[in-house]
Amino acid sequence: MGTMTFGNQAPEEVAHAILDRAVEAGVNFIDTADIYPVPGSVKTAGRTEEVVGRWLKGKRQSVVLATKCGARVGPGPNDEGSSRKHILDAIDASLRRLQTDYVDLYQIHWPDTETPLEETLLALHDLVRWGKVRYIGCSNFEAWRLCKALWISDRLALSRFESVQPPYSLLSRGIERELLPLCAEEGVGVMTYSPLAGGLLSGKYSREQPPPEGTRFALESPTGPLYRGRYWHDRLFDSVDRVKELAQASGVSPVQLSIAWLLQRPVLTSIILGATRLEHLGEALKALDVKLDAATVEALDALAPP
């Protein structure tokens, strides 16, 4: 269960209802970050962890809790990145907001090109030794960078990245080239996000109309431009039209078809779903019961090859 919108687009009472429904359905992995909610700012950073922390009371041992650090959370020069100073400060702040004494998975949100990987991994290794973190992972790392990190951990006998969190969907399949084969070879878990390509695969958008106000594609910088640049293209709208046709033929929604396709992909450990309303989650969970035949899978694979 992704929590990126909790405390903003999804108010706290809605966020708690979504988490309750997810757990009832068997979801036991909660993913957050110290920069959330998105959209947000430095002033709102940490609000989502506070929302999750209040929900966690009495439930801590029943969920796998993951959070991230690395994004800018304050005005100072050390309020972002993967330096030892920022990591040690960030984990204490996250634990305080989450109202727990450890997180199961602590992830570097994205690469920090100004900090040596050795420094980052040494700091994370200490968090594992001190019991503040059970395992470490990374998000948005390229295959070569993840491979380098694994090599450093092996060479220095440090805790290694046990997971990676990349975007992956029917319309965004670049990780199939190098990242997924690397993870399969090295036994690294893969938790993918943006399974609906920012919502484009829901089929609710039209290429003839601007994105509706309040949707992810209409947000201000940096979120809106990022998603429009990644997905708002005629070629991908053509693919979505085909997804709608295949979904209708299969008797399911485009959302369910897109998630069901992901569930059948090799190597993936988990899919991170986001929701701002209970009905969004309910529809996505129905994908667990969708079984795709070989012809449909082949047709979906042909839509947007890696």
Cite the active site residues. 36
CA distance 18 to 14: 6
Q: Can you read off the two tokens belonging to residue 186?
A: 């090295």
CA distance 261 to 257: 6
| Cα dihedral value 177, 304, 227, 17, nearest 10 | -90
Segment (H or E) for 119: helix 117-130
| Three-state DSSP state, 217 | helix
CA distance 288 to 77: 45
CA distance 137 to 156: 17
Of 97, 102, 71, 84, the residue nearest 6 (C-alpha): 97
The letter for the amino acid at 190 is V
Q: Which residue carries 């940096």 as its tokens?
A: 222
Of 99, 103, 89, the residue nearest 52 (C-alpha): 99
**One-character DSSP codes across 146-187:** HHHHHHHHHHHT---EEEEE-B-BTTB-GGGTTHHHHHHHHT
Of 163, 133, 120, the residue nearest 270 (C-alpha): 163
CA distance 140 to 50: 24
